[in-house]
Structure 1
Amino acid sequence: MALAPDASSVAAGRKLSGSGPWSATGASGAPAAVWGLCQGSGKTPYATVVDLAGPAYKCSCPSRKFPCKHAIGLLLLWAAGGVPDADEPAEHARTWLESRAQRAERTEQRAQAAPDPAAAARRAEQRRGRVADGVAELERWLHDQVEQGLAGADHAGYRPFDQVAARLVDAQAPGLADGVRRLAGVAASGDGWTARLLDELALLHLLVRAHARVESLDAPTAAVVRRRLGEPERLQDVLAGPAVRDRWQVVGQRDTAEERLVVRRVHVRGEASGRDAVVVAFAPPGQPLDVPLLVGSVVDADLHLYPGDPTRAAVGERHGEPEPLRDVRGVTLGDAAAAWSALLAADPWATALPVVLDTVTPVPSDHERTWHVVDAAGAALPLAASDRCWRLLAVSGGAPVTLVGDRTPTGLQAVAAWADGEVVLL
């Protein structure tokens, strides 16, 4: 149930968790998989298979959700003992499982292949040249915006910004391209847009100037600048770095659409360290997101932090099976404010800090246009306006709750709440 993308998928999966719609079901241990045919409204049943080692899913239904309701129903049926063991997978399951194994083998071979140092050095030098050209062009464009003035930017639409962003993508500076694309939304954000747009232009200019002297910056700051420019980071390089071992509580997740990708941010908190981090996964729309963490569980594992980003981590070695989450403790609003200040000191371009706030109460304003969370000491923090505010109020009943979210420049974006002994996604 924790694998389900939303509550409606859980409800739909429950309806398919009985043996009635299923036929030709089976489960095997090597490979660890479960499969079956589910009769829908058409003549041809849907062929469903789940790779339990992933977990990963394949279904012939047209759903864009992963896992779909058929995969959830099949897993519930299997968990209840309703799927018999089989010596080998059915044909449709075997074909898909073998293709997954072959892709994994090719990926492993590429990762283990000895790199050509000379070729790598040439590619790096070429990329540095393209990035430098793109940054120089962006600096000229930023100066033009200030010299010409901002009047009319709120009616210009996305096209002028997209054209500049496209050139930065060609220059292999996707981080700068993302920053330029955001400008169109800032210009169209209503009253006070000019000040907000000027702030964003200033941050881009700061990044341009930082790039000009990146070689003379201290190592942590240089790593931040390179990451903000969009320098590629290989997962194997991140996993080769230092590890932080803890019992990591999986306390929330949030899916968003960015460009042509679905992005999932999974919030984790260290039981011993009290450290908050996010594990991020990307996938094209309609494709499964590979995040080996289930909300509501505790995992004893190594987490490896990304260079230049103290909040993002990759999951390394595990030291046991996941356990149910029993309790969640957070920090005060004062501690969260100090952590946000520390993050901005290290990374002036930071836009989100994962936090878990202890015993805070959601409070709407008189006009219900702005919301805050208030802690026992009377400190308050604005809540980013969204439907999540109302869901948080419903979950809390107006009483204090432990709240999971992202601290942003405009306040807190609520992600989940710990209420009545379970994580509730907002």
Structure 2
Amino acid sequence: MMITLTEEYIDSVAPNASAVKNGWGLVKKKKFEKLHQSGDQMLLFGECTGSGKKPYITSVDFINKEQPTYRCTCPSRQFPCKHALGLLYAYIDGQAFTEADIPKDVIEKREKMIKRAEKKQAEAVVPKKKKVNKAALRKKLQAQLEGLEMIETLLHNLVRGGLGAIDAKTLKQVEAAAKEAGNHYLKELQHALRELVQLWKAKLPEEQLYGRAIHEIQRLSVICKKGKSHLENRLNDEELTLDTTTSIEEWIGHTWQLAELRELGKVKYDVKLVQLSYASYQNDARKEFVDEGIWLSLQDQHLYYTRQYRPFRAAKQLKQEDSTCSVLHTDEFVIYPSEGNARVRWETSKLEELSEETYLCIQQAAKHSLSDVVKHVKNQLKQPLADKHPLALIAYDKIGKVNEKWILEDQQGERLTLADEDGDTIPLLTLLRADQLSNQVLLVQFHHNLQSNELTAKPLSLITHEQIIRFK
């Protein structure tokens, strides 16, 4: 075949784990009556026995390698359906695909696809610049400014009344303010206020609760202050210019569009990335599931985030982002404005196998001076808009236990305490071999303990010269 199919690739296009299981089930139960491959080796098609009298006709067309087309006559709303997935699994399972002419309906659909692509390309030659309704935008900015003033007043009242006086009635007032923040287009601050309420709902010990609450209130106060100053400057600017250097726009409600970021030059081309860590978790304050990947760019050796947000109410309709253990190659990816490890997105990509060169690139990207890393992290934590849990890729001399604590030590003898509030990665260190605990590379996520003022790091992945060991 002119493309390389792998089980990982097929799993990655499946809408969910059930579809993967059911696709393989069709293969194992020998439900495919006919299996064909076109002469140009770009089309797989066949017939699969279903619940109806007639078999389902399914196909996968790779005429566009970046975006294969999945077709099936079954009534399933899943995309691709289990029959299309089963067709691909049958192919990698080594089942016989006889050569056959491309069906007439597929030829016709290919022709329509080509015409649509040509039309789209012609329209893209001279892209239309989106016209901004400045009057409407000014009205929105004014509403955001009023919302920031409302939140600022709320925060002042909380501090004036004392954290010890916060009760159920006060928390309801904060929740009401969070709802009102949404009416003022302040979505991120809406989430932040709900997270503040969650601190009390979590029933934390008083010292921990008040320490974290004070930190969050201070952070929100600074964001409100910076946001008000920024909005006032925009309202006084005839062009209503956006801030493209920090995350303040996102904090006060702006949703960056890919086309917008491209126009601002926030884009890199022909990029290869390796996913070093992945997690999918529930965020009750946002009322969303978050799929988060941590990636290393093999070109600029920077660490990046990808985040997909899936609202609780739409979780069944949105496919969970997949983890990958391959090199991801994209022609273009865009970078969101930020103060630390930036969030990135891309539209199309292809997977390539990890090689010795890949592991070498990861090793070379690691920082060898722990003191330099800690200095950089501390500077980032001083910025109120920056991520509270910075990432770093550290080359260590050894990892071991000192006084019952796990310690990472670099070649200069500098030490860093490894810790994990959730307790889901530290226990895994005991499973590592002796050779893995020395002269390797560790991906960590820093945490600043507000009570002890200690800076610790949570291990996420260990990278050797031949493998990536993920702790999550």
TM-score strictly above 0.5: yes
Asked if residue 277 in structure 1 is aligned to residue 309 in structure 2, the reply is no
Query: Is the CA contact (8 Å cut-off) linking 1:243 and 1:305 kept in structure 2?
Result: yes
Correspondences of 1:99-118 after superposition (within 5 Å): 114=128, 117=131
Range with bigger deviation, 213-222 or 278-287: 213-222
Work out the CA distance in 2 between the residues paired with 1:133 and 1:198: 24
What is the count of residue pairs matched by the alignment? 416
Give the root-mean-square deviation of aligned CA atoms. Answer: 5.0
Query: Is the CA contact (8 Å cut-off) linking 2:282 and 2:289 kept in structure 1?
Result: yes
Work out the CA distance in 2 between the residues paired with 1:383 and 1:344: 18
Name the SS for the 2:462 alignment partner: strand
Name the SS for the 2:247 alignment partner: helix
Counterpart position of 1:341? 378
* TM-score, structure 1 as length reference: 0.74
Work out the CA distance in 2 between the residues paired with 1:363 and 1:158: 42
Correspondences of 1:134-153 after superposition (within 5 Å): 134-151=147-164, 153=166
Task: Output the amino acid matched with 1:276.
Answer: L
The verdict on how the C-alpha distance between 1:222 and 1:19 changes in structure 2, with shifts beyond 3 A counting, is closer
Work out the CA distance in 2 between the residues paired with 1:323 and 1:115: 39
Counterpart position of 1:385? 421
Q: How big is the shift at 1:185?
A: 2.4
Range with bigger deviation, 7-16 or 190-199: 7-16
Name the SS for the 1:151 alignment partner: helix
Range with bigger deviation, 223-232 or 174-183: 223-232
Counterpart position of 2:453? none
Q: 1:196 aligned to 187, 190, 212, which one?
A: 212
Work out the CA distance in 2 between the residues paired with 1:186 and 1:49: 51
* TM-score, structure 2 as length reference: 0.68
Asked if residue 306 in structure 1 is aligned to residue 336 in structure 2, the reply is yes
Work out the CA distance in 2 between the residues paired with 1:197 and 1:216: 30
Work out the CA distance in 2 between the residues paired with 1:51 and 1:391: 46
Q: How big is the shift at 1:232?
A: 1.5
Counterpart position of 1:132? 145
Query: Is the CA contact (8 Å cut-off) linking 1:389 and 1:414 kept in structure 2?
Result: yes
Work out the CA distance in 2 between the residues paired with 1:153 and 1:392: 39
Q: Which runs of 5+ in 2 are unaligned?
A: 1-6, 235-240, 450-455
Asked if residue 171 in structure 1 is aligned to residue 184 in structure 2, the reply is yes
Counterpart position of 1:356? 393
Rg bigger for which structure? 2
The verdict on how the C-alpha distance between 1:173 and 1:77 changes in structure 2, with shifts beyond 3 A counting, is same
The verdict on how the C-alpha distance between 1:153 and 1:85 changes in structure 2, with shifts beyond 3 A counting, is farther
Range with bigger deviation, 201-210 or 24-33: 24-33
Work out the CA distance in 1 between the residues paired with 2:104 and 2:468: 37
Counterpart position of 2:445? 406
Range with bigger deviation, 29-38 or 272-281: 29-38
Deviations 1:273-293 (A, max 9, x none): 3211123334442322577x9
Q: How big is the shift at 1:342?
A: 4.0
Q: How big is the shift at 1:193?
A: 0.5
Q: How big is the shift at 1:142?
A: 0.9
Q: 1:213 aligned to 223, 229, 234, which one?
A: 229
The verdict on how the C-alpha distance between 1:265 and 1:150 changes in structure 2, with shifts beyond 3 A counting, is same
Deviations 1:338-379 (A, max 9, x none): 33234335554422333333346375974xxxx645134351
Counterpart position of 1:423? 468
The verdict on how the C-alpha distance between 1:339 and 1:155 changes in structure 2, with shifts beyond 3 A counting, is same
Task: Output the amino acid matched with 1:417.
Answer: L
The verdict on how the C-alpha distance between 1:211 and 1:78 changes in structure 2, with shifts beyond 3 A counting, is same
Name the SS for the 1:279 alignment partner: strand
Name the SS for the 1:166 alignment partner: helix
